[in-house]
Amino acid sequence: MNLKKRNYRSCFREHLDMFSDYMRASRHWSSGYDSNIRSFDRYCAEQFPEDECITQEMIDSWCRKRATETNLSCHTRQCCIAAFVKYLRARGLADVHEPARPKKNRSSYVPHAFTHEELKNFFNACDSIRLGPGHKRKCDKLKKLTAPAIFRALYSTGMRTNEARLLARNDVDLDEGVISIRQTKGEQQRYVAIHPTLAPILRQYDVKVEELYPDREYFFPSPRGGHLSNTWVTDVFREMWNKGNASHATAYELRHHYAIVNINRWEDMGFEMYDHLLYLSRSMGHLSVESTKDYYAIVPALADTLQEKTSGADDWMLPDVEGGTEA
């Protein structure tokens, strides 16, 4: 039974309602899925007004690569239609096939490979933020408190930067050592463990920032009391990074580093690679293991290694946090 009518217009609108409910219930729905499904529905309603059921022509014509699209963009747009077709076929609701999907273009982007020395320099810079005589504003004090905590949280949990800056205070359980991530890319709530070396840093941060912002809504508040902005994270990371390092890096690449460190560590410790890769994938909020493998395969020198490796406890997944944070 449909949970909610979404005003689809095509001849297969009832099946779209069922599919939407199913995907939401299984927590595989996203804003991207919703947008593309609605676009596909409108296209079929307008271009095939006389048809009484979904046809292969509808699927192939809408999924055809557009002149303005890259292979990756086309592939992404087709994902929801491929999932819809699988749903229909599994239930005997239609005799159609998935669209022919173009190969994803290999990105030319190669993320920064952090060295131990670089990370040490970076965290030392975060811990050494000084307040001069004229720096009495809340925003300056907040920067001193937040930088050591939020960047260590990114480093040791593999969270996306947006997930960290949007964390509600109530979603960080310091007693149980668990973070509940609700504001996620795929709209799927998940839980990540707080490593024992990170826990005291977050506790100290929580106590001190509460003095500045009593009863705050967000765990990492902005100077105005809301959530931190992308600009704040980007600018402060760059400032701290440049104090001790000449290379270029971004805060988001700490997430990539988290994945690589864990995969390498498991190999060194002789664990079953695929089982742990699946655990890592869930921890990072990926819908599939393939998405996690992409973090490793994006570095050409490591791609073959991962392929070979893939033909627990929390400690095996969480890198130790460098140092502590000063008051």
Q: Is residue 105 part of a domain?
A: no
Same domain, 139 and 283: yes
Contact predicate 112/249, CB 8 Å: yes
Beta strands 172-173 and 178-181 are antiparallel
Same domain, 86 and 114: no
Euclidean distance between CA atoms 307 and 286, whole angstroms: 19
The two three-digit tokens of residue 42, written as one number = 């409108």
Same domain, 77 and 134: no
> Band of the pLDDT at 300, cuts 50, 70, 90?
very low
Q: Is residue 2 part of a domain?
A: no
Q: Is residue 283 part of a domain?
A: yes
Same domain, 168 and 288: yes
Max Cα separation, the chain? 76
Q: Is residue 4 part of a domain?
A: no
CA atoms within a 13 Å half-sphere pointing along the CA-CB vector of 145: 23
Question: Residue 310 carries which side chain, given as an amino acid letter?
Answer: T
Same domain, 26 and 146: no
Same domain, 117 and 265: yes
Q: Is residue 7 part of a domain?
A: no
CB burial class (10 A; 0-12, 13-18, 19+) of residue 87?
middle
Q: Is residue 117 part of a domain?
A: yes
Length of the chain: 327
Same domain, 232 and 261: yes
| Mean pLDDT, residues 72-86 taken together | 87
Q: Is residue 127 part of a domain?
A: yes
> Band of the pLDDT at 19, cuts 50, 70, 90?
very high
CB burial class (10 A; 0-12, 13-18, 19+) of residue 256?
buried
Question: In which domain, by residue range, is 69 found?
Answer: 13-90
Lowest mean pLDDT among 49-63, 80-94, 146-160, 292-306: 292-306
CATH for 213: 1.10.443.10
Same domain, 222 and 262: yes
Euclidean distance between CA atoms 273 and 149, whole angstroms: 31
pTM exceeds 0.75, yes or no: no
pLDDT for 232-291, tens place per residue? 999 999 999 999 999 999 999 998 888 777 766 655 544 455 555 555 565 655 555 555
Residue at which a domain ends, from 35, 59, 90: 90
Same domain, 278 and 249: yes
Q: Considering Cα of 75, then 76, then 78, then 79, what sign does the dihedral take?
A: positive
Euclidean distance between CA atoms 179 and 190, whole angstroms: 8
Where does residue 323 fall: left (phi above 0), alpha (psi -120 to 50 degrees), or beta otherwise? left
Q: Domain count of the chain? A: 2
**pLDDT (0 to 100) of residue 270:** 45
pLDDT for 185-225, tens place per residue? 554 677 888 989 999 999 999 999 999 999 999 999 999 89
Euclidean distance between CA atoms 78 and 84, whole angstroms: 10
Same domain, 32 and 114: no
| Mean pLDDT, residues 25-47 taken together | 86
> Band of the pLDDT at 299, cuts 50, 70, 90?
very low
Same domain, 182 and 242: yes
Res 312 pLDDT > 50 = no
